[in-house]
Amino acid sequence: MLKKLFSASVLGAVTLIFAVSTAMAFQCPGLIRQAREALGKSALAKADKDSIEKMVAEAQDLHGKGQHQASIDKVNEALKMLGVKK
């Protein structure tokens, strides 16, 4: 009985982890797209735009490597620099 309960708990935890990581994976492209659109409309200095563009590219690379939380953190930092409110 205890073994079945443990197995069910482990299965539930794995399912939850998978669901969360999948949701994060789908969030990255939308945020990256939002940052690129805001960057295109931005009136920031070229140096600032270049810095933000580099951050967005890094977020895209992290997403491609499956590091979704790091990707989200990086693109959110870029969005903040662009003054985009969420």
pLDDT digits 0-9 by tens, 2-15: 666 656 665 555 45
Number of domains in the chain: 1
Residue 20 has pLDDT above 50, yes or no: no
- At 85 the pLDDT is 81
Other Cβ atoms closer than 10 A to 67: 16
Per-residue pLDDT tens digits for 35-81: 999 999 999 999 999 999 999 999 999 999 999 999 999 999 999 99
Q: With 0-12 CB in 10 A as exposed, 13-18 as middle and 19+ as buried, what is 44? A: middle
Distance, in Å, from the CA atom of 21 to the CA atom of 71, rounded to the nearest integer, reads 12
Full domain range(s) for residue 19: 2-82
- At 75 the pLDDT is 97
Helices (H) and strands (E) in the chain, counts: 3, 0
